[in-house]
Amino acid sequence: MKELIKADIDAFKTHFRGEVILPDDAGYDEVRQIWNAMIDRKPALIARCTSTEDVVQAIAFGRTQNLLISIRGGGHNIAGNAVCDEGLMIDLSLMKDVQVDVATKRAHVGPGCTLGEFDAAVQTYGLATPLGINSTTGVAGLTLGGGFGWLSRKYGMTIDNLLSAEVVTADGRQLHASEEDNADLFWGLRGGGGNFGVITRFEFQLHPVGPDVLCGLIVFPFDQAKQVITQFARFTETMPEELNVWMVTRKAPPLPFLPEDAHGKEMVALALCYAGNPEEGEALIAPLRGFGTALGEHIGVMPYLAWQQAFDPLLVKGARNYWKSHNFAQLSDGVIDAIIEYAGKLPSPQCEIFIGTIGGQTTRVAPEAMAYSSRDACYVMNVHGRWESADEDADGIAWARAFFAKSQPFASSGAYINFLTQEETDRIAFAYGATWTRLIQLKNKYDPTNLFRMNQNIKPE
């Protein structure tokens, strides 16, 4: 690092109240590492912010030094946008505060919060908002790309529950964005993936949920996959919105409720959550057991907070991850056959294909009401490639791409931005669809120099 740049860094440190970490400092490697081990980038410096003013200072430093800037919330994004090579990583992961207004059912959330931390704070009062299904995911990245999970059929996407945001723009302004204030910016934040500024506080609408919910798994043998997935597809078209059922096919982990001879073999699991009275839910889920002859099930009433962490052991940090994703308005026989074909030749024991069911409230918002426009999507499929070593990359990536191509003819419009990998820049405009032209205009207004480009980038004209 040149002496002049070192002097500039020293000057920056005098105004920055957080921690500045350089490559030779203790903790550098730990802070720069993110969830997806396939991403191994080395920023020139890391600014660990503790306040909005720190964020303002960090953006100003990056802008004046002409540095590539990446923004880290939870560091969970599959494309690895949280970290950059030879630039400035603005780390928000220390800004974790959550303030709950029980009377208005609203929460103010810091950009470094994980889903688990947010859920824990609001479940104290029996409240929740739709989030994802892995508690270590960051609230900020999840929200800016759309956000969906167990509660989405009843209460919509995460962004449908975003009431306002505090934003620092590329030129250093601090703006409040809501339906009333800077409404165009608020429109873009809801799905725009961090293209328009750094959010330092989110305000969410909360809903009564739990604290206990009926949830769990029913696991079927893989030789029954066709009948199980077909019935799953039809059942989910008409089930009540309080109920959500997802499908995953993979090699069975050593779950205690499964016979030992099923461990490590392909299986089909239905994961369910009922966000209403558990006794009413029991009758509604009864038909699922008749989809086949189950290997085992683990269904009961448990804390919603625990269910939100149930899949964490399958998604721990440190493995290499590669995803491909499609939206579907419905699950046709063609895509079901493709799922079964490729689930029958998984390249790694950790690979899986899952169908996240949405629909319900998520489809009732107009496609152009906010940046996220995929309102015809009732299912989001993720081809989740996951393995331990770089030697497995070629086979795993080839498998994921082949299945993606095989299932593409049956997909609907759009794509889920949060599931796009770093190589899929050709799908960004397709992902946004009807809102793409307006997003470019918004980028021209709020970030004309494309300072924030470590994202699924909307390039200014």
pLDDT in tens, 245-265: 999 999 999 999 999 999 999
Rounded CA gap, 163 and 106, in Å? 9
Residues 6 or more apart whose Cβ sits within 8 Å of residue 400: 322, 323, 324, 383, 385
Q: What is the DSSP string of 100-116?
A: EETTTTEEEE-TT-BHH
The beta-strand segments (E) located in 222-336 are 243-251, 266-274, 296-303, 320-328
Q: What is the CATH number of domain 212-419?
A: 3.40.462.20
Pull the structure tokens for residue 314. Answer: 């399958």
Q: Where is 436: in which H helix or E strand?
A: helix 436-446
The CB-side HSE value for 133 (13 A sphere, CA atoms) comes to: 23
Could you tell me if residue 48 is left (phi over 0), alpha (psi between -120 and 50 degrees) or otherwise beta?
beta
Q: Where in the chain is the domain with CATH 3.30.43.10?
A: 3-91
For residue 375, the tally of other CB atoms under 10 A from its CB is 22
Pull the structure tokens for residue 406. Answer: 């095989």
Q: Is the pTM of this model over 0.75?
A: yes
* pLDDT value for 2: 47
Query: Residue-wise pLDDT tens for the chain (461 aa)?
Result: 445 578 899 999 998 999 999 999 999 999 999 999 999 999 999 999 999 999 999 999 999 999 999 999 999 999 999 999 999 999 999 999 999 999 999 999 999 999 999 999 999 999 999 999 999 999 999 999 999 999 999 999 999 999 999 999 999 999 999 999 999 999 999 999 999 999 999 999 999 999 999 999 999 999 999 999 999 999 999 999 999 999 999 999 999 999 999 999 999 999 999 999 999 999 999 999 999 999 999 999 999 999 999 999 999 999 999 999 999 999 999 999 999 999 999 999 999 999 999 999 999 999 999 999 999 999 999 999 999 999 999 999 999 999 999 999 999 999 999 999 999 999 999 999 999 999 999 999 999 999 999 999 999 99
Q: Is the peptide bond preceding residue 367 cis, with omega within 30 degrees of 0?
A: no
For residue 433, the tally of other CB atoms under 10 A from its CB is 17
Residue 308, φ and ψ in degrees, nearest 5: -65, -15
Specify whether the CB–CB gap between 106 and 163 falls below 8 A: yes
Q: Where in the chain is the domain with CATH 3.30.465.10?
A: 98-209
Q: What is the CATH number of domain 3-91?
A: 3.30.43.10
Q: Where in the chain is the domain with CATH 3.40.462.20?
A: 212-419
* pLDDT value for 4: 52
* pLDDT value for 5: 78
* pLDDT value for 256: 94
The fold of the 98-209 domain, in CATH, is: 3.30.465
Q: How far is CA 349 from CA 263, 266, 289, 320, in A?
A: 11, 9, 26, 13
Number of residues written out for the chain:
461
* pLDDT value for 3: 53
Could you tell me if residue 87 is left (phi over 0), alpha (psi between -120 and 50 degrees) or otherwise beta?
beta
* pLDDT value for 6: 84
The vertex-447 CA angle with 445 and 449, nearest 5°, equals 115
* pLDDT value for 195: 98
